[in-house]
Amino acid sequence: MDDAQAVPPLRSIGDHGIIGDLETAALVARDGTIDYLCWPSLDSPTVFADLIDGDGGAFSIRPDLDDPQVMQLYVPDTNVLVTRWMSEGGSAELVDLMPHPEARVHSDRGAQCVIRRITVTRGTIVFAVRCAPRFDYAREVPTAAATAGGVRFNTPDLALRLFASMPLACNGGDAIGEVRLTAGESAWFVLGGDTLARPDDAQVTAEIASTTAAWRSWAGRSSYKGRWREQVLRSALALKLLTSARHGSIAAAATFSLPEATGAGRNWDYRATWIRDASFTVYAFMRLGYIEEAEHFRQWAGQRVMASTPDDPIRIMYALDGSEAADEQELAHLAGYAGSRPVRIGNAAHAQSQLDVFGELLDSIYLSNKYGAAISHDGWQHICGIVDYVIAHWQEPDAGIWEMRGEPRHFLHSRVMCWVALDRAIRLAKKRSLPAPLVEWSESRDAIVADVWANFRHPEHGHFVQSRGGTELDAALLMMPLVRFVSSTDPVWLTTLDAIGERLRDDGLIYRYRNGDGLEGGEGAFTTCTFWYAECLARAGRIDEAQMTLAKGMAYANPLDLFSEELDRRGQPLGNFPQALTHLAFISAAYFIDRRLDPAYRPNWQP
């Protein structure tokens, strides 16, 4: 199958908002159902997974209204989500949030939880409520037992408590209830761990208010005042939800196994920290003035660097707590989104060699040192070890940025990022007056440049190509001017940019590549690449094209300005959601295009 959906999804990927507490995150569908939640951490097993399987567990709140119009929005400058129903017979709104860590600290309860509050704004409405958790990726149906003011869901390994301001009954492993509310009346629900205590009305109201204030305070730290500010801030808020307050790590996405093409088997788990994606996220945060997030990640990454050795170099990805990423498993009992199987957790790519990761890591460390705290002596010694590793291995084939599962190849993007690793290490040594064999490093850096220009060109057209000796294009080449490997106005680069536009672009959609990758079936257009392409156009001085490409890319966001990983031919969302790499690429493109449109823009200005 390609884009045709043999099994219609219960709810589409794009019809969701995200809430979270910097430990985990939940997806809330437009119909008011929480159909995805891992508990208690983002990389823990699910307790709700109806998005992936119709029997995967969900928490639904349904108003009895005739053909209502439904819409979602965020409370401005926050990750507090509002779902609204409007019909002739009445209107209501649902507020969903997970208390911000700072809000929990200042509350009387201090426990991790999900808060849901429904309020009728017009008329009288009856709501049907059903909370049906299915623990351990829907492999366990808990028992449900009534407790004082709520229900306790229990298995031998996990327990959750649901408290409510209305009566609830138990039905198998579910909690169900019905409540009738008139205009101005509310009902609330609080779901959390076994230590959760029952709140009262005032505490629920206070926690909603304090979480709203905490998010607004964080949003207010942004230094970005340019065009598309609301969309840029929404992307920053989405990226923040993917960061771990405890560890400083940054997940690639909130979800697992949402397909890149329905029915094609390209279903991967993104609930881990890719060094590449996280390093790019640090760049986006720093551009917006969020230095603290960059420093927290630098500390997390520094621990990974300090633990690496020449025989065991830094990995391409880690679990959020810094441990080794989980091995890939298939969950045969789950039907998959729109019948897309197999459903996978863990990711076999963690064992791949992807040489580009060293460039992204050292770029983030360089930037953190440039704008934040200086690197320690021991940290620098380990960086030198990484540089030695790059010098020894840059000429080897690898799996590349797109984690192809065929035979390793000599990818141009990997070569370029090896150059970045050496270049940033040299810059850092000079900036901080750190001891380093700069002559040797510079010779290796220059050797990579010579290799790229000699061996990664199309034999007929002269533009850059995906791999050594090949003729195929790759959207990852768009990173070349963005990391300053090549001038954005170099004639060879401009020919490459045009070739990408001709062969990988479908209007506002950009595909990663067209050639085989060792996997069955096709895939969608990669949303990140649209914004890379827009920024490259702007850097080349083609500002009108850049603005139009950016506008088309923004139009592919869902109504809440959230981006999925990929898009089908109709522009409908595919892949894991929301995707960090896309949000940070959008921030970068918007930031640069805004600067380029400034009358005071200086062509030689560097970020």
Q: Check residue 208 and give its pLDDT.
A: 97
Residue 359: band (very low, low, confident or very high) from pLDDT cuts 50, 70, 90: very high
Cβ(234)–Cβ(214) under 8 Å?
A: no
Q: Check residue 590 and give its pLDDT.
A: 98
pLDDT of residue 604 exceeding 80: no
What mean pLDDT do residues 63-79 have? Answer: 97
Cβ(138)–Cβ(57) under 8 Å?
A: yes
What mean pLDDT do residues 563-590 have? Answer: 96
CA-to-CA separations, 469 to 25, 441, 475, 500, in angstroms, rounded = 44, 26, 17, 18
Residue 107: band (very low, low, confident or very high) from pLDDT cuts 50, 70, 90: low
Taking each helix axis from N to C end, the angle separating 580-597 and 527-539, rounded to the nearest 10 degrees, works out to 20
pLDDT of residue 3 exceeding 50: no
Mean pLDDT for all residues in the chain: 94
CA distance 199 to 364: 43
Q: Check residue 146 and give its pLDDT.
A: 97
Q: Check residue 587 and give its pLDDT.
A: 98
Domain 229-597 sits in CATH at 1.50.10.10
CA distance 575 to 580: 12
Q: Check residue 605 and give its pLDDT.
A: 44
Query: Cα 315 vs. chain centroid, distance in angstroms?
Result: 19
CA distance 164 to 171: 16
Tens of pLDDT along 118-150? Answer: 999 999 999 999 999 999 999 999 999 999 999
CA distance 527 to 74: 22
Tens of pLDDT along 4-62? Answer: 445 677 799 999 999 999 999 999 999 999 999 999 999 999 999 999 999 999 999 99
Q: Check residue 5 and give its pLDDT.
A: 44
Tens of pLDDT along 363-406? Answer: 999 988 888 778 999 999 999 999 999 999 999 999 999 988 88
Residue 261: band (very low, low, confident or very high) from pLDDT cuts 50, 70, 90: confident
| 3-state secondary structure (DSSP) of residue 191 | strand
Q: Check residue 238 and give its pLDDT.
A: 98
pLDDT of residue 607 exceeding 70: no
Would you state the structure tokens that stand for residue 508, as one six-digit string?
């506002």
Cβ(418)–Cβ(355) under 8 Å?
A: yes
pLDDT of residue 273 exceeding 50: yes
Residue 84: band (very low, low, confident or very high) from pLDDT cuts 50, 70, 90: very high
Residue 309 neighbours by CB distance under 10 Å:
10
Q: Check residue 224 and give its pLDDT.
A: 96
By DSSP bridging, strand 505-506 and strand 150-154 are: unpaired
Least confident of 93-107, 244-258, 381-395: 93-107
Cβ(476)–Cβ(354) under 8 Å?
A: no
pLDDT of residue 108 exceeding 90: no
Q: Check residue 44 and give its pLDDT.
A: 98
Q: Check residue 106 and give its pLDDT.
A: 59
Domain 16-219 sits in CATH at 2.70.98.50
pLDDT of residue 110 exceeding 80: no
What mean pLDDT do residues 313-338 have? Answer: 95
What mean pLDDT do residues 201-220 have? Answer: 96
Q: Check residue 280 and give its pLDDT.
A: 92
Per-domain residue ranges of the chain: 16-219, 229-597
Would you state the structure tokens that stand for residue 311, as one six-digit string?
């025989």
**Among 252, 244, 300, 189, which Cα is nearest to 21's?**
244
pLDDT of residue 521 exceeding 70: no
Q: Check residue 603 and give its pLDDT.
A: 66
By DSSP bridging, strand 113-122 and strand 90-97 are: antiparallel
Q: Check residue 418 and give its pLDDT.
A: 98
What mean pLDDT do residues 290-309 have? Answer: 89
What mean pLDDT do residues 536-547 have? Answer: 97
By DSSP bridging, strand 58-63 and strand 25-29 are: unpaired
Q: Check residue 1 and give its pLDDT.
A: 34
